[in-house]
């Protein structure tokens, strides 16, 4: 049923020599850094996302296919990665264990989690989905809020999408049991991504949210294997949604007064529960909204900066580049 898509992916998952790739990194504009070592093996910072043809891709959701029979060293990301074996299986190695991921199952790997994927069989097909912090808004994650005994994917994603050490060493393995609804939507996402037609980005986002909702259903009726899926309570969600609604002119003191908290307590609570400071939570919301304006309007960048809460356009440029890796102007041109 999905053979055409599998054949297309096979055209993109050929062997890659790590030593050659390493030289390409050194010769390119990006300085590949070593973050540390595991058993004398270097752990590299893979902070950029690339298409299958090794072209830099700054989208908030990037899809690629794992090269076959290829050594890839230990590395960390500043984004969440989802590995899905579509044909065969794969083995993900973390600092402390080896995790076998069977066909159609998926593993979510958190930001700053050292890992590598053992070379896959020449007939295997393993999909990689990279999610940056800009991929989903808090309201979208709130939509996924699980009721009852199921696992809240919104809580899981928010925790994994943290760009500080709150997400370190975290992964979540979901056993799908070849659920046709979930596998079909995975293939729909792949087809939309590689066809790249009008509204593909929006359709992919909606289908990703649907996939997460189906995972919630799956884990509600069946105990999924999940490691360290920290749960957040409704009080935290209310705080995050308040930030999303009032991001443009919010202050810690005003927010604390609104909820009846001491400002220092509120600041510590947000930091402890999300891994992000109040300032970074506000920044993240502001740049996400700015990205929407850049994509769907022709408004001058300075006006967008002011609209999302930055009177100083230069500071807005700095913050935007920090989260997206490129300037607002470049981001806008890439979306056209």
Give me the tens of pLDDT residue by residue for the chain, a chain 336 residues long.
Answer: 799 999 999 999 999 998 888 877 765 556 678 888 998 999 998 887 777 766 667 788 999 999 999 999 999 988 889 999 999 999 999 988 899 999 999 999 988 889 999 999 999 999 999 988 778 876 676 556 544 444 445 555 555 554 444 444 578 888 888 999 999 999 999 999 999 888 888 899 999 989 988 887 776 665 434 443 333 344 676 788 788 888 899 999 999 998 888 999 999 988 887 778 999 889 988 998 898 888 888 889 999 999 999 999 999 999 999 888 899 999 888 876
CA of 292: how far to CAs of 21, 227, 240, 298, in Å?
A: 34, 33, 19, 11
Contact by Cβ (8 Å): 82, 131: yes
Q: Could you tell me if residue 57 is left (phi over 0), alpha (psi between -120 and 50 degrees) or otherwise beta?
A: beta
* pLDDT score of 235: 65
**Packing angle, helices 328-335 and 278-296, rounded to 10:** 40
Burial, 207: exposed, middle or buried (Cβ in 10 Å; 0-12, 13-18, 19+)?
Answer: middle
């Amino acid at each position: 049923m999905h053979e055409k898509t599998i054949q297309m992916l096979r055209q993109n998952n050929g062997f890659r020599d790590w030593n050659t790739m390493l030289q390409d990194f050194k010769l390119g504009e990006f300085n590949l850094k070593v973050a540390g070592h595991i058993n004398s093996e270097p752990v590299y910072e893979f902070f950029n996302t690339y298409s299958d043809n090794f072209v830099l891709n700054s989208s908030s959701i990037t899809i690629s296919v794992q090269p076959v029979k290829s050594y890839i060293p230990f590395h960390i990301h500043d984004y969440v990665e989802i590995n899905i074996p579509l044909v065969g299986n794969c083995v993900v190695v973390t600092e402390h264990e080896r995790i076998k991921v069977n066909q159609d199952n998926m593993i979510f790997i958190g930001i700053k989690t050292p890992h590598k994927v053992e070379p896959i069989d020449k007939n295997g097909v393993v999909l990689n989905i990279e999610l940056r912090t800009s991929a989903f808004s808090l309201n979208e994650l709130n939509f996924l809020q699980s009721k009852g005994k199921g696992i809240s994917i919104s809580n899981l994603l928010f925790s994994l999408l943290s760009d500080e050490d709150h997400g370190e060493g975290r992964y979540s393995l979901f056993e799908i049991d070849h659920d046709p609804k979930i596998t079909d939507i995975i293939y729909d996402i792949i087809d939309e991504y590689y066809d790249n037609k009008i509204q593909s980005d929006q359709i992919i986002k909606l289908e990703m949210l649907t996939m997460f909702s189906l995972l919630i259903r799956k884990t509600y009726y069946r105990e999924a294997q999940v490691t360290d899926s920290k749960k957040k309570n409704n009080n935290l969600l209310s705080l995050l949604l308040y930030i999303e609604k009032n991001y443009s002119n919010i202050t810690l003191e005003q927010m604390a007064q609104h909820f009846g908290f001491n400002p220092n307590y509120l600041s510590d609570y947000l930091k402890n529960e999300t891994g992000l400071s109040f300032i970074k939570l506000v920044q993240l919301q502001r740049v996400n909204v700015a990205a929407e304006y850049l994509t769907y309007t022709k408004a001058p960048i300075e006006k967008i900066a002011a609209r999302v809460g930055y009177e100083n356009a230069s500071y807005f440029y700095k913050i935007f580049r920090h989260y997206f890796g490129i300037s607002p102007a470049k981001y806008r041109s890439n979306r056209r």
